[in-house]
Chains A and B, each alone.
Chain A
């Protein structure tokens, strides 16, 4: 029983430095989609491996596999309690403790995902109601809503009834070509449902608010999603329009925003510089063998913990 547990534990522990390496690597900005796939695989693989390792420590030995062994132990414990048998010895108690920790982690991860989804849906519903009361259309930005506020901002509210919102400040600041680039960027977010890509990472950050790894994963995926939308906008608009729009919106509030507020957004220092740099000096995407390698790594990092969890070894 010990060796699958060892593998699961080393996968769970090994993923953390791998994620740090991925966050620091340069290639993700060349192929954001492949990098997002790998991030998702790392997240899922870590969850499976960590739950599996804890459950495996608690599982009964004897060819049931991790999941089967864990169920056997839980079943025996319930029956012991029901029949009023003697309290378990130390080893059995430790087993049950590990099992409880594994179950707890599983419940925690499922719960935060549900809670984050519910919070997001609530926030979006309020946004849509408020926008229907406050915002209005404008012929300069077809398909988008205009919000009367002097600060430049552009964003989208994803969902089945999605909205693109441009502030009056941004409308005044950007010329027609730049506005078109902004709209193309936001439409890419909505069409590809980038919000769903980001949601599990938001949930992970909520589950472990003190973890630097969770924060780094969320930040990296958020940036990759922006790059993906930038790339889509580039198919319809020249890079220069998008870059000037980015810089104008990004720098419009510089100096006037309170430092406390900047600190919140400042967790991603240099994020804008990275986006601008890759738009101005585009690097070629990853080669086909490199993409295949990324896909293989992503598959492996999910398949190995999943197999160890289910197969009776």
Chain B
């Protein structure tokens, strides 16, 4: 997937395999992985003569943003799918929290 994200143009299976020389993968392995990515909707493919040309369906940044929106609970559906550690607070609330930390911190030490 990284290869597809970094490439400017659509790639054939052989070209993707060529970019992964350090891993020494069989041609069929690369083909299977790309086929699976296409079925899951992460890669798109177009026929070019007898070969498939693969390209990423959306940019890496788009997927990272999607994950972060869920994490920050900003998708509108506060589902039980994830549990976020801390909710974003407003500026006023932030000031109150910092003051609580100063006061409470002293209290717990005494």
Contact = CB atoms under 8 A, between A and B. Distances in A.
Q: Do A and B bind each other?
A: yes
Interface of A: 116, 119-120, 123-124, 127, 129-131, 133-134, 147-149, 151, 153-158, 165, 167, 182, 185-186, 189, 194-195, 198-199, 201-202, 218, 222, 225-226, 229, 239-240, 243-247, 249-251, 253-255, 257, 261-262, 264-273, 276-277, 280-281
B60 A239 contact: no
A202 B73 CA distance: 14
21 contacts: A119-B79, A124-B81, A127-B82, A130-B67, A131-B67, A134-B67, A147-B71, A155-B71, A199-B80, A229-B83, A244-B101, A250-B97, A251-B97, A254-B94, A257-B72, A257-B88, A261-B88, A264-B73, A264-B76, A272-B86, A273-B96
Interface string B63-75: 1111110111110
Given A250-B88, A280-B100, A157 B64 contact: no
Nearest to A266: B90
Interface of B: 1, 40, 42, 60, 63-68, 70-74, 76, 78-91, 93-94, 96-98, 100-101, 104-105, 107-108
A25 B87 CA distance: 22
Contact of A264 (B74, B90, B97): B74
Closest 9 CB pairs of A and B: A280-B104, A154-B85, A123-B81, A251-B94, A249-B86, A250-B86, A198-B80, A261-B74, A153-B71
Contacts, number: 168
Contacts of A271: 87
B105 A189 contact: no
Contacts of A182: 85
A127 B97 contact: no
Given A153-B84, A195-B80, A130 B71 contact: no
B108 A240 contact: yes
B104 A277 contact: yes
Nearest to B60: A134
Contacts of B98: 247, 251
A153 B68 contact: yes
B70 to A, nearest CB: 7
Contacts of A262: 88, 90
Contacts of A276: 97, 100-101, 104
B105 A250 contact: no
Contacts of A253: 72, 88
A250 B87 contact: yes
B64 A134 contact: yes
B4 to A, nearest CB: 10
B7 to A, nearest CB: 15
Contacts of A240: 105, 108
B98 to A, nearest CB: 7
Contacts of A249: 85-86
A195 B82 CA distance: 8
A111 to B, nearest CB: 17
Nearest to A225: B83
Nearest to A221: B80
Given A157-B81, A249-B85, A251-B98, 10 more contacts: A120-B81, A133-B1, A133-B42, A155-B82, A254-B90, A265-B72, A265-B87, A266-B90, A271-B87, A277-B100
